[in-house]
Amino acid sequence: MTDTTIVSVRGRRVWDSRARPTVEAEVALADGTVGRAIAPAGASTGTGEAIDLRDAGEAFGGLDVRKALGNVNGEIADAIRGQDALDQASIDAALIGRDGTPNKARLGGNALIAVSLATLKAAAASRGVGLWRHLAGDQPVRIPLPEIQIFGGGAHAARRVDIQDFMVVCLQASSFAEALDRTAEVYRAAGAILKARGLLQGVADEGGFWPAFASNDEALDTLVLAIEQAGFRPGPDVAISLDVAASEFHDGGRYRLARDGRELDTDGMIAMLLGWIDRYPIVSIEDPLSEEDAAGFRAFTRAAGDRVQVIGDDFLVTNAKRVEMAAQTRACTAVLVKPNQAGTVSETKAAFDAARRHGLGAIISARSGETEDVTIAHLAVGWDAGQFKVGSIARGERTAKWNEVLRIEEELGSQARMPAATRFEPR
Ligand code: PGA
Ligand code: ZN
């Protein structure tokens, strides 16, 4: 037995930002160190994601996680107790093998990702270094560029508008702190505009303002106005990033934009998005088409991939094989990386590495159901991802992650570098 041998694994039921139960895992090593991690949960999930195991039944709308916790304390603990926490690949292989399904449906992706991340954190803690440093080793890292939500929509706001995330990105900010400063001014200005119009109705699931708009265009116009009223030039100082999350309103080959009263085919969607790119300072678009519409992704990337970053989220579900396929077919230019979509750290890293290998951008991302867990902030820095997305600059489960990057930036001191760019270049 070495110092980093796993001696105990245990699950605890804790709560997420939507008042839903979720899985926390605690992994203890022989030297007494403990790693702890909490599984997040999506609302606009891709069909190819690792399964978030829920109990069904009466409690909490069927969303209880007693079965997943039982798996952590039982089969999962049995599978990895006695193994070396420094050997993440073997730990994750054991988790995947014990589950035995292609989508982690038996033991639960939520149970597995909590344990996998907790093991990683225990290993870092045992070495006495911050997780980001443990991951980076002696490689240089950059502070990631944040994309931060100002208005939430789609599945995170009862479909009040169709588009899910209206975000800003400060491409030329000289530091993470400066990017947050600018974003906070834009957020304040957006709130003031809504208040003056009598449209201030609280916030959506990720802390962006509730989108009480008559159309998607009105949301975009208001965002540009907020950037201006905050004293910035829309585009060069503060640009726009969208997550369309188009799978959510795609049905039977048609895109139904309820807010705009329009129903579009793939060509119509692409034309609408190209029109927005012409009219607004948009630099990045996530899931512009449905996860089922690979041809649409290719066509959109052909038409706009040299002007905006095209991100696959539901389309790629943090799956290395899908990332390879997307790269080979030029279906997008960047990959959203969500550990719980994959279900283990190793599979998340494999998807990330596939993106890197093919020159695609990578954005480490939170989910709409989150907690105070800040592990992904360390992945974003330690893997040198270059970009980071965790929702808005309001609500504690969001600011916990931004604030953690501020601490890391401070720790890096003069070595802290941001990826300065006027647009997202393929790597
Ligand atoms: P989700 O949304 O966590 O609800 O899936 C986040 C996203 O689509 O990026
Ligand atoms: Zn998304």
Q: How are beta strands 21-29 and 34-38 bridged, if at all?
A: antiparallel
Strand partners, 337: 364
Residue corresponding to tokens 């290998």 = 357
Are both 170 and 109 inside the same structural domain? no
Nearest CA owner, ligand 1 atom 6? 367
pLDDT band at 423 (very low <50, low <70, confident <90, very high): low
Q: Ligand 1 within 6 A of 43 CB?
A: yes
Residue 225 resides in a domain: yes
Question: In this predicted structure, what is the pLDDT of residue 149?
Answer: 98
Q: Give the position, in ligand 1's atom list, of the atom nearest the Cα of 367.
A: 3
Are both 229 and 313 inside the same structural domain? yes
Rounded to whole angstroms, the Cα distance separating 101 from 108 reads 10
Handedness of CA 370, 375, 376, 378 (dihedral sign): positive
Q: Ligand 1 within 6 A of 224 CB?
A: no
For the chain, give the mean pLDDT: 97
For the cut 60, the answer to whether the pLDDT of residue 427 exceeds it is no
228 labelled catalytic: no
Are both 46 and 169 inside the same structural domain? no
Short-list 282, 378, 387, 376, CA closest to 335? 387
Are both 358 and 300 inside the same structural domain? yes
Q: Ligand 1 within 6 A of 245 CB?
A: yes
Question: In this predicted structure, what is the pLDDT of residue 425?
Answer: 61
pLDDT band at 372 (very low <50, low <70, confident <90, very high): very high
Rounded to whole angstroms, the Cα distance separating 80 from 90 reads 9
Are both 308 and 346 inside the same structural domain? yes
Where is pLDDT greater, at 172 or 167?
167
Lowest-confidence range among 144-153, 261-270, 417-426?
A: 417-426
Residue 423 resides in a domain: no
Residue 165 resides in a domain: yes
H-run or E-run covering 298: helix 294-304
Short-list 327, 339, 347, CA closest to 427? 327
- Say if CB 193 and CB 136 are below 8 A apart: no
Short-list 242, 332, 232, CA closest to 280? 242
Question: In this predicted structure, what is the pLDDT of residue 419?
Answer: 84
Are both 223 and 156 inside the same structural domain? yes
Are both 60 and 192 inside the same structural domain? no
Q: Which residues of 381-405 are buried (b: 16+ CB within 10 A; e: fewer)?
A: bbbbbbbbbbbbbbbebbbbbbebb
Residue 51 CA neighbour count, 13 Å, CB half: 17
Query: pLDDT > 70: what percent of the chain?
Result: 98
Pocket probe for ligand 1: among 18, 44, 110, 341, the residue whose CB has the most ligand atoms within 8 Å is 44
Residue 371 CA neighbour count, 13 Å, CB half: 19
pLDDT tens digits for range 141-166: 999 999 999 999 999 999 999 999 99
Please state the rounded mean pLDDT for residues 303-311: 97
Q: Which of 128, 160, 177 is the last residue of a domain?
A: 128
- Say if CB 299 and CB 310 are below 8 A apart: no
For the cut 80, the answer to whether the pLDDT of residue 41 exceeds it is yes
Are both 180 and 78 inside the same structural domain? no
H-run or E-run covering 243: strand 239-243
For residue 227, the CA-to-ligand 2 centroid distance in Å is: 23
Domain that holds residue 66: 6-128
Please state the rounded mean pLDDT for residues 338-345: 98
Short-list 369, 406, 339, 375, CA closest to 144? 406
Are both 267 and 304 inside the same structural domain? yes
Q: Give the position, in ligand 1's atom list, of the atom nearest the Cα of 286.
A: 9
Strand partners, 22: 14
Q: Which of 93, 128, 163 is the last residue of a domain?
A: 128
Give DSSP secondary structure letters for 79-101.
Answer: HHTTSBTT-HHHHHHHHHHHH-S
Residue 311 resides in a domain: yes
Q: Ligand 1 within 6 A of 370 CB?
A: no
Handedness of CA 98, 103, 105, 110 (dihedral sign): positive
pLDDT band at 295 (very low <50, low <70, confident <90, very high): very high
Domain total in the chain = 2
Are both 21 and 94 inside the same structural domain? yes
Q: Which of 102, 128, 154 is the last residue of a domain?
A: 128
Q: In CATH, what number is assigned to the domain containing residue 44? A: 3.30.390.10
Q: Ligand 1 within 6 A of 291 CB?
A: no
Residue 425 resides in a domain: no
- Say if CB 386 and CB 145 are below 8 A apart: yes
104 labelled catalytic: no
Pocket probe for ligand 1: among 365, 376, 401, the residue whose CB has the most ligand atoms within 8 Å is 365
Q: Ligand 1 within 6 A of 341 CB?
A: no
Q: Ligand 1 within 6 A of 368 CB?
A: yes
Please state the rounded mean pLDDT for residues 177-206: 98
Are both 227 and 181 inside the same structural domain? yes
Residue corresponding to tokens 């054991």 = 94
Please state the rounded mean pLDDT for residues 333-359: 98
Are both 258 and 345 inside the same structural domain? yes
Distances (CA, A) of 336 to 96, 98, 148, 187: 22, 27, 14, 24
Q: In CATH, what number is assigned to the domain containing residue 324? A: 3.20.20.120
What backbone phi and psi angles, to 5 degrees, belong to 396? -60, -35
Catalytic residue among 49, 206, 347, 404: 206
3-class SS of residue 207: coil
What backbone phi and psi angles, to 5 degrees, belong to 33? -75, 155
Ligand nearest to the CA of 45: 1
Helices (H), 49-141: 66-71, 77-80, 88-99, 109-127, 131-136
- Say if CB 216 and CB 136 are below 8 A apart: no
pLDDT tens digits for range 66-109: 999 999 999 999 999 999 999 999 999 999 999 999 999 999 99
